[in-house]
Amino acid sequence: MPATVTVLCYITNHRKSFASKNLSIVEASGVIRSRSLNTSLNITLIGFYHDDTIQELSLPEFKEEDVVLATGNFRIVEGVDNEGNKYPILRIILNDIVCFNNIDPNDLPAFPILINMTAITQEDPTIGEEDVTFKVLVKNFIDQDYVNIEIICYHPVSTRHLMNVTAVIRKHTVLYINGELIITDDSNIVYIKSISFPEFQKITPVSRGLIELPWESKNQNDKTTQSTVAQTIAGRVKGNIRKKPILTTNPYPKTKPRSIRPKVADLANNLLNKNSNISNQTTENTNTVGK
């Protein structure tokens, strides 16, 4: 049951190392201005860059003092300052990253920590006078380990479209939840924006033929590039599929012609003739001795 977050952050430190010939690892640190927190939140970003990855699908490069929008799996670790005070650090393994070169770091906006997760409820919801709350458990695989993240979810009672769902939630219910993550010193809270059950997911058809997108009229070459990338990947994947070997029931080696293969009847005749010759020779020898 994975969970991903999306954050807008300012990069304060950037370090790149080479794990192997074709793999490099970027470890960066930065800060987030979350609109739900009074102070900045520290963040660590880990990105894996493969030299053999198609350029359009690889992680974009970024550097120190950049403003980036980062998305990936996460865990919350504990840091300690020079005075011994503990503070939370949001650690993200990057799935994607977007650089905003036109944003001045001095004008970094307060942006929510968006979370998208599949979770299992740990208890029945509690309906209060103002809010509905319940605890969930999220399991992420990060840093080569399975991480359990306990989260308290809530939404106001006044949001009727969410009440229709939470009214039927029970313990051990699996849910899809989108919302805003609030990280404090002792708890993780999600303000729910949308919630649904897996079996209630429906696909909404979208007609692309009747919609003219503004960027398609400016960059006609984008379609060609995307098609080329898709064809390259398809060719590479299909080329790795091995054909099943063709089994044969032929018990004879291919180097021996079929025309000289022994037959059962021929073997029997040869054996009978051999026995007949031995018998005749024995009879002749007996007659000779008698004379």
Chain segment 98-150, per-residue pLDDT in tens: 999 888 888 888 889 999 999 999 999 999 889 999 999 998 887 778 888 99
The pLDDT of 210-236, averaged and rounded, is 63
- What does each C-alpha distance from 267 to 181, 251, 280 come to in angstroms? 86, 18, 20
Three-state DSSP state, 44: strand
Residue 287's pLDDT is what? Answer: 55
Please check whether residue 136 is in contact with residue 118, taking contact to mean a CB–CB distance below 8 angstroms: no
pLDDT in tens, 37-59: 777 889 999 999 988 777 778 89
Number of Cα atoms under 13 Å in the Cβ half of residue 204: 1
Residue 24's pLDDT is what? Answer: 92
With 70 as the cut, is the pLDDT of residue 16 above it? yes
| φ, ψ dihedrals at 71, nearest 5° | -135, 140
Residue 157's pLDDT is what? Answer: 92
Residue 55's pLDDT is what? Answer: 76
> Distance between the two ends of the chain, CA-based, in angstroms?
105
Give percent of the chain above pLDDT 70.
68
Residues sharing a CB contact under 8 Å with residue 188, sequence separation 6 or more, in sequence order:
76, 149, 150, 151, 152, 181, 182
DSSP bridge pairs for 238: none
Q: Which of 57-61, 207-211, 240-244 has the lowest mean pLDDT?
A: 240-244
The pLDDT of 211-228, averaged and rounded, is 61
Q: Is the pTM of this model over 0.75?
A: no
Query: Who wins on pLDDT, 151 or 275?
Result: 151
Residues sharing a CB contact under 8 Å with residue 25, sequence separation 6 or more, in sequence order:
16, 17, 18, 19, 46, 47, 48, 49
Tokens of 131: 């809010």
Query: Who wins on pLDDT, 239 or 167?
Result: 167
The pLDDT of 170-197, averaged and rounded, is 90
Domains by residue range for the chain, with CATH: 3-200 (2.40.50.140)
**Burial (0-12, 13-18, 19+ Cβ within 10 Å), 133:** middle
